Amino acid sequence: MSFTPDPRSAAALSGRAPGGAGLRRYRHLIASFVVNDLQTRYAGSSVGLFWTVGKPVLELLTYTFVFTILLRVQFRADFDTLQNALYLFCGYIAWLTVSESVLRTGNIIRENGHLIKKVHFPPAILPLHVCLAEVVSQGLRFSVLLLAALLAGNPPSGHIAWVLPILVLQIAFTCGICMLVSCAAVYFKDVVQILPSVLLIWMFVTPIFYSDTAYPPLYKPILVLNPVSQLVGMYRLVLLEHQPPLPGQVAVFAAAAVLSLALGAVVFHRHSYEFADLV
């Protein structure tokens, strides 16, 4: 997505201002990018906002039919089709937010080369605003999930308060991955072509469409070390099972989030000064 900043916002920029302090300085510009992202996506479309929720729901119906009805996958032995669908949808929402953020930032530096070349612009805003815009869409989808759970007789409990700290860790994890991917794509154009295949593999090794108990003992390390597996598990616990996340889940995902953000920020900052010559 290419973005043309408001002249007043552009005039306010006075250097790349890398790092957390710089991004805090440009929080209003980041908010402007997020709003523009959402408006651009839905502008001129009478069903644009609907597809934020409608497309995942249609995909959910397909996956529910294939995995629950045809393949008879059960998240719990006593679950009916509706309960299976809620678990599947909860996991799919979490995955969709992460994967869409990563996919959309694959070519974002090249698409916005005019900003990096002509304006003293902090490039980290580009992957960051996409992550935040996808979180807004995630909020809409979770609202649909909670409404469906309520109608199914499974209303949210006080454990829903855990969503905020989990979401903070999710944003840190996703932003780190997005910075690494967007930076790598500047140097290696094949990254954009490979990315969908990598994300497809990642999706199917994550227990979204099946229970984590389906993993054979030999392959349990894949489950444990997959950060998105922990993310999906935490959301299911706090939103549908009304329990706090397991300490192990929090520890693994928090470590992954810190490592992802730190590595992404260092690599992105180190190479951001070369972007204008490469895009």
Report d(CA 174, CA 169) in Å as an integer: 9
Give the mean model confidence (pLDDT) for residues 181-205: 93
Phi, psi at 46, each rounded to 5°: -75, -20
Phi, psi at 249, each rounded to 5°: -65, -45
% residues pLDDT > 70 (the chain)? 86
Give the mean model confidence (pLDDT) for residues 238-260: 95
Instruction: Supply the pLDDT for residue 43.
Output: 61
* 158-192: pLDDT as tens digits: 999 999 999 999 999 999 999 999 999 999 889 99
- Of the two residues 167 and 48, the one the predictor is more confident about is 167
Report d(CA 9, CA 24) in Å as an integer: 14
Report d(CA 174, CA 102) in Å as an integer: 7
**Average predicted confidence (pLDDT) for the chain:** 85
Report d(CA 49, CA 54) in Å as an integer: 9
* 3-23: pLDDT as tens digits: 554 444 443 343 444 455 556
96 burial type by CB count under 10 A (0-12 exposed, 13-18 middle, 19+ buried): buried
Give the mean model confidence (pLDDT) for residues 253-261: 97
Instruction: Supply the pLDDT for residue 244.
Output: 96
pTM score: 0.85
- Of the two residues 180 and 121, the one the predictor is more confident about is 180
